[in-house]
C-alpha cells in the first residue's frame, strides 16, 4: 500500500504541483481513507520527501539506460532531455519551483543528490565525446560538467525565465544547443546539426 500511495501521489504532484494537492485529494483519488495514508506517512512533508526521492531514483535509472544504449554523447543529451520532459510532465506544474519554495530542506537534499549524479554522469559523457573527437580536446571536463549543472538548474528560475515568456521545452532545447556548440569539434558540429534538424521536424509535427 505504501508503494501505491507513493506512485499515486507522484502522479498527482507532477500534474498539479506539491502545494495544490492535499492528503484528502490523494485519498479520494485512491478510494481509501486519509487515515490509511497516515499509517504509512506521518504527514504530507514525509510523503513529499518519499515521492521526491522515488522520482529521482526512477529518473536516474532511465538516464542510465539511455547512457548505456546511446550512439554518442550528443544524441544522448537530447534523448535524456526528452525522457525527463515526458516523465516530469513537461514540468507544467513547476514542481522544481514549488519544492524549493514550500519544502526547502527536501529541495536542498535533492539538489545534492542531483549534483552528485549529474556531475559524474556528465563527466563520463563529455570524456567519451573528447575520446571520439566530437568534443574539443582542450576543454576542462570537470569545469564544464559543473557549469552544465548550474545552467540546467538556472533555466528553471521563474524570475529570470518567467513562465509566460518561456516554456520548459524551449529552455531545455535552447540550453542544450548553447552548451554543445561551446564544446563540439567540426565533427561534433555535424552530428549536432543533424540532431537539431531532427528536433525541428519533431517539433513541427507536434
What DSSP string describes 107-171? HHHHHHHHHHHHHHHHHHHHHHHHHTTSB-TTS-HHHHHHHHHHHHHHTT-TTTS-TTT--HHHH
Bridge partners (DSSP) listed for residue 184 = 135
Taking the model in full, what pTM does it have? 0.85
Cα 110 to chain centroid, rounded: 12
Q: Contacts for 140-149 with beta carbons within 8 Å, 24 or more apart? A: 144/183, 145/118, 145/119, 146/119, 148/118, 148/122, 148/179, 149/114, 149/115, 149/118, 149/119, 149/122
Q: What pLDDT was estimated at residue 96?
A: 76
Tell me what the pLDDT averaged over the chain comes to.
Answer: 92
**Candidates 3.40.190.290, 1.10.645.10, 1.10.3720.10, 1.10.357.10; CATH matching 2-205:** 1.10.357.10
Backbone angles phi, psi at 179, to 5 degrees: -60, -50
Q: Which residues contact 94 (CB under 8 A, 6 or more apart)?
A: 17, 158, 163
Span 188-204, mean pLDDT?
Answer: 88
pLDDT surpasses 80 at 92: no
Residues 133-156 as b/e (b if ≥16 CB within 10 A, e otherwise) read ebbeeeeebeebbbebbeebeebb
- In the 8-state DSSP scheme, what is residue 92? T
d(CA 40, CA 57): 20
d(CA 85, CA 195): 17
**Could you tell me the pLDDT band of residue 10, with boundaries at 50, 70 and 90?**
very high
Q: Could you tell me the residue ranges of all domains in the chain?
A: 2-205
pLDDT surpasses 60 at 118: yes
Grid coordinates given for 80: 535524456
134 near 72, Cβ under 8 Å?
Answer: yes
Q: What is the pLDDT of residues 15-25, one digit of tens each?
A: 888 988 999 99
Q: What pLDDT was estimated at residue 201?
A: 76
Span 149-164, mean pLDDT?
Answer: 91
Q: What pLDDT was estimated at residue 206?
A: 61
**Could you tell me the pLDDT band of residue 205, with boundaries at 50, 70 and 90?**
low
Q: How far apart are the first and last CA of the chain?
A: 37
Amino acid at each position: 500500500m505504501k508503494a501505491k500511495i507513493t506512485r499515486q501521489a507522484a502522479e498527482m504532484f507532477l500534474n498539479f504541483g506539491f502545494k495544490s494537492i492535499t492528503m484528502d485529494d490523494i485519498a479520494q483519488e485512491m478510494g481509501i481513507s486519509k487515515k490509511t495514508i497516515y499509517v504509512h506517512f506521518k504527514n504530507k512533508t514525509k510523503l513529499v520527501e518519499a515521492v521526491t526521492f522515488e522520482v529521482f531514483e526512477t529518473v536516474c535509472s532511465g538516464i542510465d539506460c539511455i547512457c548505456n544504449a546511446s550512439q554518442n554523447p550528443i544524441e544522448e543529451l537530447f534523448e535524456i532531455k526528452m525522457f525527463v520532459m515526458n516523465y516530469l510532465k513537461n514540468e507544467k506544474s513547476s514542481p522544481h519551483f514549488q519544492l524549493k519554495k514550500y519544502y526547502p530542506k527536501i529541495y536542498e537534499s535533492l539538489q545534492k543528490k542531483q549534483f552528485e549524479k549529474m556531475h559524474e554522469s556528465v563527466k563520463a559523457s563529455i570524456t567519451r565525446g573528447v575520446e571520439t573527437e566530437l568534443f574539443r580536446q582542450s576543454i576542462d571536463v570537470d569545469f564544464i560538467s559543473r557549469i552544465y549543472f548550474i545552467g540546467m538548474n538556472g533555466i528553471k528560475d521563474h524570475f529570470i525565465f518567467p513562465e509566460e515568456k518561456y516554456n520548459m521545452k524551449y529552455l531545455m532545447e535552447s540550453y542544450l544547443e548553447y552548451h554543445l556548440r561551446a564544446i563540439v569539434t567540426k565533427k561534433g558540429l555535424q552530428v549536432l546539426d543533424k540532431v537539431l534538424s531532427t528536433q525541428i521536424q519533431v517539433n513541427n509535427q507536434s
